[in-house]
Amino acid sequence: MPSNDARILAQAAVPTAAVGVLAAVVSGVVAGGKGAIGAVVATVIVILFMGVGLYVLQRTAKSLPQLFQMMGLMLYAAQLLLLFIFMAAFKNTTLFNPRAFAIVLVAATLTWIAAQTRAHMKAKILYVEPDATASSGAPAKGDKPEKTGHSS
């Protein structure tokens, strides 16, 4: 994974993990041990789903750039749908507190999206890769400058 991608992943995962730790402590105090377990499971699911989604999106951007926007929209819709499916599937579980699980799942998802948005806005990513000659501003040795304008 290139350094920009890894940096964006870290800048999204770290705040999400911090919110998950805080939510686990609060859920543990409010709902007991099962609340803390629900918060931890929700945080791990969000980091896993969103991290894999970011990886898939970056791979798509490099191999099929014309599909990037459509793939991003489809990917986020699929991720949110899968998270709602998880909430519905574990609604009546006795393994952990389902209310804490659902609240932390939503909070961690919103944190990830906000942190990823901030990371993308702060990143200095080129939209177009410049040519070697264009970066120096001068034509390469042996190249004749192009004539522009009328020849008369």
Give CA–CA dist 94/90, Å, rounded: 9
Number of domains in the chain: 1
Return d(Cα 71, Cα 135) in angstroms, integer.
31
133 part of a folded domain: no
Q: How confident is the model at residue 30 (pLDDT cuts 50, 70, 90)?
A: very high
For residue 91, tell me if it sits in a domain: yes
pLDDT value of position 138: 55
Task: Supply the pLDDT for residue 9.
Answer: 83
CA–CA separation, 29 vs 31, rounded Å? 6
pLDDT class for 142, splitting at 50, 70, 90? low
pLDDT tens-digit series, residues 63-74: 887 877 888 888
- What does the alpha-carbon distance between residue 117 and residue 138 come to, in Å, rounded to a whole number? 37
Domain that holds residue 12: 3-121
For residue 130, is it within any domain?
Answer: no
Q: How far apart are CA 87 and CA 31, in angstroms?
A: 18
| pLDDT for residue 85 is more than 90 | no
Q: Residues 100-141: pLDDT tens digits?
A: 888 998 899 999 999 988 887 887 766 666 665 555 555 555
Distance CA(58)–CA(65), nearest Å, equals 10
Residue 148 lies in a domain: no
Amino acid at 144: K
User: Would the pTM of this model clear 0.85, i.e. be above it?
Assistant: no
Q: E strand or H helix at 60, and its extent?
A: helix 33-63
- Judged by average pLDDT, the poorest of 6-10, 36-40, 52-56 is 6-10
